[in-house]
Amino acid sequence: MRSHFATNLSSLVADLHSHGHFFIDFKPQNIRVFKRTHAVTLIDCDGFAIESNAGKRYPAELLSTDYISPEAFRNKSAAKDLDINQDRYALATIIFQLLNGGIHPFQGIPTGSLNAATNDEKAALGLYPHGLVEDLRIHPRPQSVHLCFDDVTRALFDRAFIGPPDARPSAEEWAKHLTSLLDNKQLTRCEKNPYDIRHMRFLNKECPECLFQEVKAQRNNTKKKKTTIDFNKLNQGTGSVHTQQNSSPKSNLLLSVGMYLFVGILLFVSVVAILKETNKAPANISTSVGEQYKNILTDKYLSKLNKIEEISTTTKSKSEGGHIVNARASKYYVLAWTIIGARDTPYYPLAFRLNTQAYDLGHPEGASNLGYMYEFGMGVQQDFQKAAKWYRKAIEMGQPHSAQAELRLGNLIANNKIPSNTRVREARMYFEAGIEVANNGNWKDLKSGYLKELGDALNRLNQPSIEAPISTPSKQLSSPPSSSGLQIQDLSIDEKASLESACNQDKTLGGPNAYTACADRNLKLLAIGPRLPTLSTFDTEKRANLEAACSQEKYLKGPAAYAKCIRNQLDQKRQ
């Protein structure tokens, strides 16, 4: 997950640099991450160093400690004098911290006396303890997991922190490197803890979380040993010549009694707490659903449930659509879906419970089904807001199971069941995301079903009666007159999506006229240039590669540029 943050951040900074702007006061506090989707946003942009279209520079004014480049610190440079090298240093520092649990790249334990207390001072002296080649002047902290990074990443960090300023990796280089790590599956789950998101490791490298836990356990053991020795010594009264020299036997005895009393109280409180917990309604994932429902279950579900609960909650896993999921969770949601599908009303509460269990075990389908039950009032009171909440949870949990959630949530928005300022646009996004998810999924039957439903939903959305936004009765927004002869309704789904996205700024800030002008401009360009090939004819992987290569053109430059980009990509592949 943190690698995704680092990748997104690098892309944003690369985009900024390509326009001649610099961040300068580059620090984690100026970067916000949305908790539900982990989208990254750069804030305080008016403090950036800006280059106008005419080439005039408007400098930055602020710098923050821990993120000042070594040369700037040594030369005591002001923020206004700094350039892209400052950003490259700060970017590498933040990526390092993200990957290494917040440890600053220059944070370490000096081996001798050094005249450098702060990280910036150490950076200015080049005291980098995490390099590929060990620096004998400083050791890394025991908690550092830098040895678990892949060698290319470590080499990039070396260039950023101990190389000359102009040799630092650019933001674009970081973005490409991190994307390739993610695309080529260079990050993988740790075998010991495959369901714990903290346990992600680089291929052929040790799991950083396991390493960290090992170091932590060692430290705890050391502390425990120390405590035990001290306690024994206390119990020995005056017997210890090493520790008891300054203590009287009477005070030792009192201290011992006090310690035993304290431990006794702690034990009593713990036992009471455990007993209370035991009497509570079972809620954790290890609780047997069969046990809770055996009084009301008939044979038809009880035997299935008993079989499911023989599956381990922690070790058994299976592949669904190319993704590894918990085996018991998978069975839970399938049984729940059987009950829902059969409209077996008396067992809706059981289905609800099974879906909750599936969700607790990390299966997105559990969340999606809970949304469905709320949407249609199955065993619970119908509540569109709660339905939307569960669909969003399923979407957050990821592919390939979120196609249903994307479809249902898009429908809720399109049908005005939940409020949205940009109803059509938002619904379209969910449908398109659903199509993308369904296309990427490996499961054959569901894929075709969802693709059809999502395609139908998109078509319905594009009908004039639905297309007009609620707050703006004018149909001009969706269907501006075109002087090119080409009309919006003549466009394919992908072309329409591209046009809507490219003209989004004009629509929201400039109003209907600006939108119409933008749409007209795009339609003219599309009318004279090549049209977008039908992407649905390509296989999933090829389509994903094409989409990735041309996403900027699709969402920002409009359908003509998008079509041109796709055709260029196809030509290159043919060559």
Partner 1 sequence: MQCLLKTAVNGEKEVIIDFKSPLGKGAQATVYKSTVGGIRYAAKIFHQQSSFDDKKIVAMIANPPERLEGLTAGILYPRYSWPLSIIIGSNKLSIGYLMPLIDQAESFTLDHYYDKNLGKKLNSPDEVALCDKFK
What CA–CA distances, in Å, run from 425 to 199, 291, 413? 37, 47, 10
Q: How many residues bind partner 1 (CB under 8 A)?
A: 72
Which residue from 501, 522, 516 is spatially nearest to 564, judged by alpha carbons?
522
Contact between 32 and partner 1 per CB under 8 A: yes
| Among 97-105, 176-184, 240-248, 542-550, the segment contacting partner 1 (CB under 8 A) | 97-105
Q: DSSP character for 535?
A: G
The minimum distance between CB 94 and partner 1, in angstroms, equals 7
Residue 102 or 346 having the CB closest to partner 1: 102
Structure tokens at 380: 């619970």
Contact between 312 and partner 1 per CB under 8 A: no
24, 68, 79, 94: which one contacts partner 1 (CB under 8 A)? 94
- Beta strand 200-202 with 187-189 is antiparallel
Contact between 214 and partner 1 per CB under 8 A: no
The minimum distance between CB 19 and partner 1, in angstroms, equals 6
In order, the DSSP letters of 253-308 are HHHHHHHHHHHHHHHHHHHHHHHHHHHSPP-STTS-HHHHHTTT--HHHHHHHHHH
Residue ranges in 461-490 that form contacts with partner 1 under rule CB under 8 A? 471
Give every CB contact of residue 225 below 8 A, 6+ residues apart in sequence: none
Task: Identify whether the C-beta of residue 373 lies closer than 8 Å to the C-beta of residue 355.
Answer: yes
The minimum distance between CB 144 and partner 1, in angstroms, equals 12
The C-alpha R_g of the chain, in whole angstroms, comes to: 30
Whats the size of the chain, residue-wise?
A: 575
Give every CB contact of residue 525 below 8 A, 6+ residues apart in sequence: 558, 559, 560, 561
The answer for 126, left when phi > 0, alpha when psi is -120 to 50, beta otherwise, is left
Collapse the DSSP code of 319 into the 3-class scheme (helix H, G, I; strand E, B; otherwise coil) and give the result: strand
The minimum distance between CB 495 and partner 1, in angstroms, equals 17
| Among 90-98, 161-169, 221-229, 240-248, the segment contacting partner 1 (CB under 8 A) | 90-98
Residue ranges in 379-408 that form contacts with partner 1 under rule CB under 8 A? 395-396, 406
Task: Identify whether the C-beta of residue 525 lies closer than 8 Å to the C-beta of residue 560.
Answer: yes
Residue ranges in 56-75 that form contacts with partner 1 under rule CB under 8 A? 56, 58
Residue 67 or 347 having the CB closest to partner 1: 67
Task: Identify whether the C-beta of residue 348 lies closer than 8 Å to the C-beta of residue 373.
Answer: yes
Contact between 430 and partner 1 per CB under 8 A: yes
Contact between 370 and partner 1 per CB under 8 A: no
Residue 94 or 160 having the CB closest to partner 1: 94
Task: Identify the helix (H) or strand (E) that includes residue 251.
Answer: helix 249-279
The minimum distance between CB 179 and partner 1, in angstroms, equals 15
Contact between 187 and partner 1 per CB under 8 A: no
Contact between 52 and partner 1 per CB under 8 A: yes
Task: Identify whether the C-beta of residue 88 lies closer than 8 Å to the C-beta of residue 170.
Answer: yes
Task: Identify whether the C-beta of residue 174 lies closer than 8 Å to the C-beta of residue 3.
Answer: no
The minimum distance between CB 556 and partner 1, in angstroms, equals 6
The minimum distance between CB 488 and partner 1, in angstroms, equals 20
Residue 290 or 321 having the CB closest to partner 1: 321
| Among 92-100, 282-290, 333-341, 484-492, the segment contacting partner 1 (CB under 8 A) | 92-100
| Among 18-26, 121-129, 268-276, 342-350, the segment contacting partner 1 (CB under 8 A) | 18-26
The minimum distance between CB 450 and partner 1, in angstroms, equals 14
Residue ranges in 527-566 that form contacts with partner 1 under rule CB under 8 A? 552, 555-556
Tokens 């995490």 — which residue?
130
What contacts 24+ positions apart, CB below 8 Å, involve 350-359?
350/289, 350/293, 350/296, 350/297, 350/301, 351/378, 351/379, 352/378, 352/379, 352/380, 353/289, 353/292, 353/293, 354/289, 357/285, 357/289, 357/329, 357/332, 358/329, 358/330, 358/332, 358/333, 359/329, 359/393
Residue 409 or 525 having the CB closest to partner 1: 409
Q: What would you measure as the largest C-alpha separation in the chain, in angstroms?
A: 102
Residue ranges in 102-161 that form contacts with partner 1 under rule CB under 8 A? 102
| Among 1-9, 134-142, 185-193, 565-573, the segment contacting partner 1 (CB under 8 A) | 1-9
| Among 41-49, 85-93, 239-247, 519-527, the segment contacting partner 1 (CB under 8 A) | 41-49
Structure tokens at 88: 């490259």
| Among 12-20, 147-155, 343-351, 538-546, the segment contacting partner 1 (CB under 8 A) | 12-20
Binding-site string for partner 1 from residue 490 to residue 529, where x marks contact by CB under 8 A and - marks none = --------------xx--xxxx--x---------------
Contact between 286 and partner 1 per CB under 8 A: no
Q: DSSP character for 146?
A: G
| Among 232-240, 376-384, 421-429, 487-495, the segment contacting partner 1 (CB under 8 A) | 421-429
The minimum distance between CB 136 and partner 1, in angstroms, equals 28
121, 150, 206, 426: which one contacts partner 1 (CB under 8 A)? 426
Q: DSSP character for 100?
A: T
Contact between 36 and partner 1 per CB under 8 A: yes
The minimum distance between CB 516 and partner 1, in angstroms, equals 13
Contact between 320 and partner 1 per CB under 8 A: no
Contact between 45 and partner 1 per CB under 8 A: yes
Residue ranges in 221-260 that form contacts with partner 1 under rule CB under 8 A? none
Contact between 192 and partner 1 per CB under 8 A: no
